[in-house]
Amino acid sequence: MTKLQNKFLMKEQTIRSTTWGHHFIFLNCLLAILTGFTYVYCSPGTESFISFSYLLVTWLGQISFLSFLAFLIFFFPLTFIGNFKVYRIISIIAAVLLHCLLLVDAKLFLSLKVHLSWSVVSLMIRDLTFNTGLNFNFMYIAIPLVIFLELIFARLATREIYKSEVRNNYFPAIVMTLVTACFITSHGIYIWADAANYEKITNLRSVFPAHYPMTAKSFLTTHGWIENITAKTDGTSTSNIAYPLTEIKFEEKDIQKNVITIFVNGLSYSDLDADTTPNLIKLKMDNLSFENHFLPYDDLYNNLFASWFGLPIQYEQIFTSHSVENISNDVMQKEEYLIRGFTSAINGSEGSKLSKMTGMKNNKLKNLSSDTVLLNEAADFIGKNAEHRMAVTLSLNSLLNMNSAESHKRHLKLLDSQLGKFISRLEEIGITDRTMVIISSSLGNKFIGGASVYSKKKQRVPFIIINPDSENKGVSKKILTSSFDINPTIAVEILGVTTPCVNYGIGDNVLALEQRDYIPTTQGNNLLLISQDAVTIYKRNGKVVTTTEEEIRPARANLENLIRAMRDFNRFKK
């Protein structure tokens, strides 16, 4: 008899817990939807009525779906505890924790446009003080408020289970029907947008947490209407990337400009002095000079790829294997520019590699025996084609073949003199009034030592822009710049590209750049953030160190900077 009573009591407790849980999760769903409006508030701009409607139905559908999922996975199984009081206590605690996770995720998306993931959580666990560059002080108010609301919800749910016998309440059923319809409609709209390539909707894909809308391709594959080709890809297909992110638009300039880019490879900023490089010093003093220009890599070809495409080396293999054109090259071909490259002192195989890294066809790239011959041939080519629009790239490599610091300095003095004569010839030809000349380097002085991982002294190189229209004559800027900025600068200033730079590179137009906190790059498995004062290194094992030319010291991860850098690197990956 006692066993029968206990069994009956447990069944009654389970039924009561289930009924209470339905009311409790419904109230929490409404609270989650209210919190989830944060994602709508800070989502990318919706330029059409249908994209705005999609955002609203996805907000209601996705947040309510997550609430239902929480109930199904966690709250419902707990009803079989068979103790109504214990179930309520555990449910209140769980609800508070889940709402706190939602608040943290909303804060991350509001600040960084990312959601909670394992990598983000692991960083927070290592950084227990939350000293990560984000301000979570609002949680001191939010947590007590959430606890207070959960206690009210628990009381209302308890009162409701006793009222349910005497009156019918259709409001929850109406709300749940509405949000279910929103969930289905959201996925239906996205399938259409994906099939029609309607970017105003597909760009909203990552707004909400744990949101993985079905695409037209996956929908058709699931139902057997198209063959599943995902398993057949080898990982190098251009379908793995989205480059550029949007259609490139440009406006023709009133005056068509030429661009001549000169890379004096093997030259670091510290090599400049009045005795050795008087011509470069004069060009620096008379024109626009960027004093904190850093190379992202310690390899000539990697830096040339970064300059040519404005992208990190992670994209090199897929771009070179599929002959992907960089944005500037593509626009120049449409505008009928003469595109030529001149390089010196490299063998045949290296010349082929250079062609791949720059995306320049072999028939447009001339390999010459020395810098002297290169400068003369380049000047002759420019003189013969002075009436055409042209983009000429010079890669001077003789400094890389020097065997000692003394011979490097002697040859640099000779090269500086030849560069001065080359600029004078450009003036004689009469194209300097419509030509931007960029002088920099794609590899620092190999005789400069320094930090083992990244030597700022070695990797800091000159960056001089001779721009006839510029008001910045004789101006030196201290802002951080890198090789990633060269392609966007050419695209905007020479070609009139109006599409924002973030859609085709991780750099920016330096003529419009104000300041940045760091330059992101990689070395092996390490992520590097190059700032004005030091280099912060995020290692694969989770350790973080800050290096200068004098010392290496442990540092604390700045979550905001780290996530932004990772987003920059992965911006063009699908």
CB 209 within 8 A of CB 38: no
Res 292 pLDDT > 70: yes
SS3 for 475-530 is CEEEEEEEHHHHHHHHHHHCCCECCCHHHCCCCCCCCCCCCCCCEEEEECCEEEEE
Domain boundaries, the chain: 2-222, 258-514
CATH fold label, 258-514: Alkaline Phosphatase, subunit A (3.40.720)
Overall average pLDDT of the 67-71 stretch: 89
Strands 476-482 and 519-523: unpaired
CB 448 within 8 A of CB 256: no
User: For residue range 82-138, what is the model confidence (pLDDT) as tens digits?
Assistant: 788 888 999 999 999 999 999 988 888 887 777 887 767 766 665 544 445 567 788
List, in order, residues 6 or more apart from 380 with CB less than 8 Å away. Answer: none
Confidence category of residue 226, pLDDT binned at 50, 70, 90? very low
List, in order, residues 6 or more apart from 426 with CB less than 8 Å away. Answer: 260, 379, 382, 432, 435, 437
Confidence category of residue 439, pLDDT binned at 50, 70, 90? very high
Confidence category of residue 167, pLDDT binned at 50, 70, 90? low
Among 177, 164, 208, 157, residue whose Cα is nearest residue 54 = 208
Between these two residues, 206 and 163, which has the higher pLDDT value? Answer: 206
Overall average pLDDT of the 380-391 stretch: 93
> Which tokens in the block code for residue 541?
């094992």
| φ, ψ for residue 363, nearest 5 deg | -75, -10
CA angle in degrees (0–180, nearest 5) for 66-71-76: 160
Res 335 pLDDT > 60: yes
Res 328 pLDDT > 80: yes
> Which tokens in the block code for residue 80?
């079989």
CB 456 within 8 A of CB 467: no
- CA–CA distances in Å: residue 242 to residues 11, 210, 246: 56, 22, 9
List, in order, residues 6 or more apart from 192 with CB less than 8 Å away. Answer: 198, 216
- State how far Cα 545 lies from the chain centre: 22
pTM over 0.85: no
pLDDT number for residue 44: 76
Half-sphere exposure of 68 (CA within 13 A, CB side): 12
Rounded CA separation 443/398 (Å): 12
Q: What is the mean pLDDT of the chain?
A: 84
> Which tokens in the block code for residue 447?
């005789």
List, in order, residues 6 or more apart from 97 with CB less than 8 Å away. Answer: none
The helix (H) or strand (E) run that includes residue 355 is: helix 348-358
Overall average pLDDT of the 156-179 stretch: 74
| φ, ψ for residue 322, nearest 5 deg | -110, 10
> Which tokens in the block code for residue 545?
């160190």
- Most trustworthy range by pLDDT among 238-247, 445-454, 479-488, 561-570: 479-488
Q: How many CB atoms lie within 10 A of CB 414?
A: 13
- Residue 465's DSSP bridge partners are 288, 438
Rounded CA separation 491/494 (Å): 6
Q: How many CB atoms lie within 10 A of CB 33?
A: 18
pLDDT number for residue 240: 66
CB 310 within 8 A of CB 507: yes
